[in-house]
Amino acid sequence: MRPAGRGHALLLDLDGTLLDTAPDMAAALNRLRCEEGHAELAFEAIRPHVSHGGAALVRLGFGAAEPAEFERLRRRFLELYRAGLATETRLFPGFPFVLQALESAGIPWGIVTNKPGWLTTPLLAALGLASRVACVVAGDTLPERKPHPAPLLHAAALAGCEPARCVYAGDAERDIIAGRAAGMQTVAVRFGYLAQGEDPAAWRPDGIVDRPADLLDWLAPATR
């Protein structure tokens, strides 16, 4: 599916869309499980849950813990993850070309993530992206988080682009819900952290892409 009109800014989810953070998040979860006397989980079992954040990973790793115990585990998971934040995390293959193409064409790109800023900011700095991104809206930038549209509307304002001229891409249903509510064109990425049998078409995005380079078809002027 192709857009009826091309966008003038690209906004991206972070985990599972722009960055492949699963290796480092899975490593942190397995370190925590080892600390607690449990065997490691297979990477393939962890990967589909990474887009849903630390709390989802702790639930995966430890089930229905009591609230106080869950909070202790969640905090320790975040400590472990912060210590190895950018050990193996990389841009998804194809994104170096995409970002360069956008920048060469003068098209701003930004990030809207539910990841907290105290993790997002150092991660982007470690990967050399902090000076390149037009805007970053993290999970604690505003009182609201996705699927609320407020973070996306804030990002559009920071990028200097009307929401209707923005494209928002993500690998989770909340991304599409938020983008649609913000009046943006929405694109689901199939290379992200989808669970087995999960169908992005069910989220009703404006389009679905299989590789980062396909996002360029949604932007104007032509970047190919």
DSSP-derived secondary structure for 161-200? --GGGEEEEESSHHHHHHHHHTT-EEEEETTS-PPTT--G
Domain shared by 75 and 103, yes or no:
no
Average pLDDT, the chain: 95
Domain shared by 16 and 38, yes or no:
no
Domain shared by 77 and 96, yes or no:
no
Q: What 3-state DSSP class applies to 10?
A: strand
| pLDDT confidence of residue 74 | 97
How many domains is the chain partitioned into structurally? 2
Which tens digit of pLDDT belongs to each residue from 56-87?
999 999 998 899 999 999 999 999 999 999 99
Which tens digit of pLDDT belongs to each residue from 131-146?
999 999 999 999 999 9
Mean pLDDT, residues 19-33 taken together: 98
Domain shared by 49 and 101, yes or no:
no
**108 confidence band (pLDDT: 50, 70, 90):** very high
Q: Write out the residue range of the structural domain in which residue 71 sits.
A: 22-83
Token pair in block for residue 124: 């982007």
Domain shared by 164 and 68, yes or no:
no
Mean pLDDT, residues 142-169 taken together: 97
pTM summary value: 0.95
Domain shared by 99 and 138, yes or no:
yes
Domain shared by 121 and 172, yes or no:
yes
| pLDDT confidence of residue 222 | 52
**221 confidence band (pLDDT: 50, 70, 90):** low
Within a domain: 224 = no
Domain shared by 116 and 203, yes or no:
yes
Q: Residues 6 or more apart from 58 whose CB is under 8 A from it?
A: 29, 32, 65, 70, 73, 74, 77
Within a domain: 145 = yes
| pLDDT confidence of residue 3 | 57
Domain shared by 67 and 95, yes or no:
no
pLDDT of 2 strictly over 70: no
Domain harbouring 159, CATH code: 3.40.50.1000
Within a domain: 150 = yes
Mean pLDDT, residues 156-176 taken together: 97
Q: Which residues are catalytic?
A: 13
| pLDDT confidence of residue 56 | 96
Within a domain: 28 = yes
Domain shared by 57 and 31, yes or no:
yes
